[in-house]
Amino acid sequence: MKKRMVLTMLLASVLVMTSVLAGCGKGDSGNVKIRIGEVTRSLFYAPEYVAVAKGFFKEEGLDVELTTTPGGDKTMTALLSNAIDVALVGSETSIYVYQQGTDDPIINFAQLTQTDGTFLVAREADANFDWNNLKGKVFLGQRKGGMPQMAGEFALKKLGIDPKADLELIQNVDFANIPAAFASGTGDYVQLFEPTASIFEKEGKGHVVASFGEESGHLPYTVFMAKKSYINKNKKAIQSFTNAVHKAQLWVQDNNAEAIAEVVLPYFENVDRDILISSIDRYKKQGSFATDPIIDEGEWNNLLDVITSAGELQKRTEHSEIVDTSFAEKAIEAVK
């Protein structure tokens, strides 16, 4: 499979990378330094930016360094090579690495989002949209083997649509170039994250007609994860990290889209405030932001169903193998 070939190449590339760190260092403030690599910059991850901007990480004695490592393969390469300490990425990447065979698996320890974060965008507004409208149309999808595409296909199948037979599926466009490809005329429909979907609506380039998040159900879509060896050496720091994440989750839960937009605005300097508000509001209304960091077994099994349906799973990787809920459980007890 192409995905397994990509993973093999990914793992091979790690062997030639030279950055090797034993554990947490100290930041300029004397706090423990943790380097986070996020798979993309998106309002879908609003609680992460809230945790930084509101000082929740600092309250927990941490100095976080946040960088964007575009794409799941690049993010996982950075984590495996110790270029980052913690990754914010889809749980499927940890499964692919585990199934390649490793003595130091990637452990999922804190969930940030619990639904798919993409929306179906059409070229024209359609107040009476029906999913069957996709049949026979050109659909500009996401990368094969990635969660957006797999969750999208899973949702379509639930709705009685065969992604391979009922529509013309385009999957050869890089993640970062998908919006530009649609804007230039490729496809009748496209699968987009916020704030891009709202920006397209404002500019008249497309219109949100449906949500894949609402259709695909709850799953550990975006999760904080780290090497098992790193977690074992830095349990106190990982606990503090999870506590900060949960503080942000509670704050997001208790505040409206306008208040959240004000906090995350510095991370989206080129996005209008009204776009920030509408994007965050969409995610809040459909329950995309996890309300606690626990990756529960039911959500994990739904994830495995999604990956199995996409034909990307060798065998089911059970929840107990690469998920550790102990930090999340303690965070819930500690943070009120």
pLDDT tens by residue, 193-208: 999 999 999 999 999 9
Residue 235 has pLDDT above 70, yes or no: yes
Considering the chain, what percentage of its residues have pLDDT values greater than 70? 91
Mean pLDDT of the chain: 91
Question: Which of the two residues, 11 and 242, has the higher pLDDT score?
Answer: 242
Residue type, 67: T
Residue 28 has pLDDT above 80, yes or no: no
Residue 3 has pLDDT above 90, yes or no: no
Question: Which of the two residues, 329 and 141, has the higher pLDDT score?
Answer: 329
- Farthest-apart Cα atoms in the chain, separation: 59
Question: Which of the two residues, 14 and 153, has the higher pLDDT score?
Answer: 153
**φ, ψ of residue 266 in degrees (nearest 5):** -60, -20
Specify the pLDDT at position 336: 86
Residue 19 has pLDDT above 50, yes or no: no
Q: How far is CA 31 from the centre of its chain?
A: 27
Specify the pLDDT at position 314: 82
User: Is residue 153 within 8 Å of residue 212, measured between CB atoms?
Assistant: no
- Domain annotation for the chain: domains and CATH numbers: 2-115+219-334 (3.40.190.10), 118-216 (3.40.190.10)
Specify the pLDDT at position 176: 81
Residue type, 49: Y
**φ, ψ of residue 194 in degrees (nearest 5):** -85, 150
d(CA 274, CA 297): 37
Residue 232 has pLDDT above 60, yes or no: yes
Query: Length of the chain in residues, anyone?
Result: 336
Residue 44 has pLDDT above 60, yes or no: yes
Give the pLDDT mean for 292-308: 96
Three-class DSSP category at 292: coil
Confidence of residue 12 (pLDDT cuts 50, 70, 90): very low
Specify the pLDDT at position 175: 80
Confidence of residue 21 (pLDDT cuts 50, 70, 90): very low
Q: Which residues lie below 8 Å from residue 116, measured CB to CB, with a gap of 6+?
A: 147, 148, 151, 152, 155, 212, 213, 215, 216, 219, 221
Give the pLDDT mean for 237-257: 98
Specify the pLDDT at position 240: 98
User: Is residue 141 within 8 Å of residue 149, measured between CB atoms?
Assistant: yes
Give the pLDDT mean for 2-12: 47
Give the pLDDT mean for 23-31: 64
pTM over 0.85: yes
Give the pLDDT mean for 199-227: 95
Q: Which residues lie below 8 Å from residue 78, measured CB to CB, with a gap of 6+?
A: 37, 69, 84, 87
Specify the pLDDT at position 71: 85
Pairing mode, if any, of strands 138-140 and 168-170? parallel
d(CA 91, CA 99): 13
Specify the pLDDT at position 23: 54
Number of neighbouring beta carbons within 10 Å of residue 230:
24
Confidence of residue 15 (pLDDT cuts 50, 70, 90): very low
The 10s digit of each residue's pLDDT in 62-77 is: 999 999 998 889 999 9
Residue 281 has pLDDT above 90, yes or no: yes
Confidence of residue 24 (pLDDT cuts 50, 70, 90): low
Specify the pLDDT at position 130: 96
Residue 223 has pLDDT above 50, yes or no: yes
Q: Which residues lie below 8 Å from residue 10, measured CB to CB, with a gap of 6+?
A: 73, 76, 77, 80
Number of H helices, E strands in the chain: 16, 11
